[in-house]
Amino acid sequence: MSVNRNTKETCQSKMTLLEEILKANEAFVKNEEFKAYKTDKTPNKKAVFLTCMDTRLSELATKAFGLKNGDIKQLKNAGAVVSHPYGSTMRSILVAVYALGVDEVFIMGHHDCGFGALKPDPVIKEMKDRGISEDTFNTLDHSGIDVRDWLKGFDSVEESVTETVNNVKNHPLLAKSIPVHGLIMDPETGKADLVINGYEKVEE
């Protein structure tokens, strides 16, 4: 059953999350804390990183490499995957390369990935429990959209990173001179293992 969790939460506490973050924002600006983050649009390290949206990686994914605000372009999605050649993640990588001064691409998955372990059936059940009708699923099915397949995670993070690196590297619109690296991070320690060294596959 989908009793509105947020409403319940709001009644119990004084401040909603929205109010809380807007209040913090007001103080941040007033105290000029932004000065510590001053940078520009061009990444100092000329790189774009695609990592997972896992909460443990929010800061770890950059701090563990000694990267600071402004050093790289950061992209995040569930699982750090590029599964659609003309989806918004691939478009962002291409924009980073051709319009925002990026010369290298890093794809970084991680161990214990929530998306990797994702099973579509419980997610679909949850959607239905929250009011998405059977009709909607039928309509999508008739339009050729396989929701089960679309929601499927991966069995091996090594395979997933390799597949995404290959999808990006072999994209018809990516210049052959751009290296695409593959890494896997341990979300507990920040230790990164190299899966693919993109310099070895670069064609000038």
Distance CA 176, CA 178 (A): 6
| Min CB(89)–Zn ion separation in Å | 14
**Options 72, 113, 180, 184; binder of Zn ion; rule CB under 5 A:** 113
At closest approach, how far in Å is the CB of 66 from Zn ion? Answer: 22
Question: For residue 198, which of 48, 42, 41, 43 has the smallest C-alpha distance?
Answer: 48
Residues 55-84 that bind Zn ion (CB under 5 A): none
Instruction: Please state at what angle helix 120-129 crosses helix 134-142, rounded to 10 degrees.
Output: 130
Q: Residues 159, 198, 91, CA angle at the centre, nearest 5°? A: 75
Tell me which stretch binds Zn ion (CB under 5 A): 9-17, 22-30, 37-45, 112-120. Answer: 112-120
Question: Quick one: how far is CA 130 from the chain centroid?
Answer: 25
Binding to Zn ion (CB under 5 A): which residues in 31-60? 52, 54
Measured from the CB atom, is 54 or 104 closer to Zn ion?
Answer: 54
Asked if 104 touches Zn ion (CB under 5 A), the answer is no
Residue 184 φ then ψ, to 5°: -130, 130
Question: Would you say 87 or 129 has its CB closer to Zn ion?
Answer: 87
Q: What are the residues binding Zn ion (CB under 5 A)?
A: 52, 54, 113, 115
